[in-house]
Amino acid sequence: MLKEIKFSSFFLLIILSSELIFASEVNLYTSRHYDTDDVLYQEFTDQSGIKVNVISAKGKALVEKLKSEGDRSPADIFITVDAGNLWKLQKDGFFQSIESSKIKSIVPKRLRGPNDEWVGLAKRSRVLFYNPENVSKEELKNLSYEDLSNPIWKGRIAIRSSNNLYNQSLVASLIAHNGVKETEKWAKSFVSNFARKPQGNDRAQIMAVANGEADIAIANSYYIGLMLSGKKGSEQKNAAQKVGLHFPNQLGRGTHINISGAGILKSSKNKENAEKLIEFLLSKYAQSHIVNNTYEYPIISEVQPNFYILKFGESFKEDQLSVSNYGEFNPAAVKLMDRVGWE
């Protein structure tokens, strides 16, 4: 009888232990569409014993999901691209302050949200891609975003539509620096310099430059890494090899910087685990993995960008503007872009 009791107690202990292990989890909603991120989440689980449950979808769909779930949402962390998206979620009251001193010591204040309610996990710059056969060194010298309103660029610029958040954030940054009046004046001339009606994604703009449809394109830096790596096919790789990359505003404030970032939800039931996951994503190991698979720029200085990105310059001057401005000035940017006929 005594043996039976001991045997039962042993299996009860195993069951309880299993339940405890299963309870050690963190629930992640992410709009980042990189399969390679899953490798990081598994590595975090292997190191910490904390299971990462991932729901991946487009940003708007996840936001609607969060709204419908309310306080009942199982989500602990929301990861998305563009500071404007994070700012909107914070304004709508979704996030809580991140308390980890480790996270705040790693991520510069300009790459964190107000009250530390969200933080950057990787940086991306919005740069100029050009066709060396059609753009002279003299034209590129000290070229800024503001210079693209000059008539010499008439019919030479390719860019995405005004409903693209990357472009909205760029215009929001110009408003933060130059004011609405000056930015609108700039935008009217800038739009008149388009080589074609805005169409396609960022890679389509780079392709347009490579194919001679435009001389200059505005796109995020990491796309050239994706294209040069061959992950997007030989046609895009060949196109990427034909273009150069220019960092605007190097004599002034520096090149526009945006982020992929994360916030911890107010409804989180696993805040401690959520902070541990964010700390891990800011580690040297995770940052190296990110830059070598998504070609973004690292948050931490100990990690270098990927080879395909480094070939365009080991360092450049970054705009020090707080990325929270992209959300704050987004409504003004959208209205401005509509007024000047940016389709």
191-250 per-position pLDDT tens digit: 999 999 999 999 999 999 999 999 999 999 999 999 999 999 999 999 999 999 999 999
75 and 180 belong to one structural domain: no
249 and 322 belong to one structural domain: yes
Cα 101 from Cα 106, distance rounded (Å): 9
Helices (H), the chain: 2-23, 36-48, 59-69, 83-91, 101-106, 137-140, 165-192, 202-210, 222-228, 234-240, 271-281, 284-293, 307-310, 325-328, 330-339
162 and 294 belong to one structural domain: no
Are 299 and 287 in contact, with CB atoms under 8 Å apart?
yes
Q: Which residues contact 148 (CB under 8 A, 6 or more apart)?
A: 157, 190, 193, 216, 218
Structural domain count, the chain: 2
106 and 147 belong to one structural domain: no
297 and 326 belong to one structural domain: no
Q: Report whether pLDDT(21) > 60.
A: no
Query: Which residues constitute the domain of residue 106?
Result: 2-123+259-304
Q: Report whether pLDDT(340) > 60.
A: yes
Q: State the pLDDT at residue 247.
A: 98
Q: Is residue 179 part of a domain?
A: yes
63 and 202 belong to one structural domain: no
Q: What is the pTM of this model?
A: 0.91
Among 22-26, 140-144, 217-221, 325-329, the range scoring the smallest mean pLDDT is 22-26
Q: Report whether pLDDT(126) > 70.
A: yes
Q: What is the mean pLDDT of the chain?
A: 93
The average pLDDT across 281-297 equals 97
> What digits encode the pLDDT tens for the residues 93-109?
999 999 999 999 999 99
Cα 259 from Cα 83, distance rounded (Å): 6
243 and 269 belong to one structural domain: no
* CATH for 174: 3.40.190.10
179 φ/ψ sector (left φ>0, alpha ψ -120 to 50, else beta): left
The average pLDDT across 8-29 equals 58
Q: State the pLDDT at residue 314.
A: 82
271 and 207 belong to one structural domain: no
Q: For residue 263, what is the enclosing H or E element? A: strand 257-265
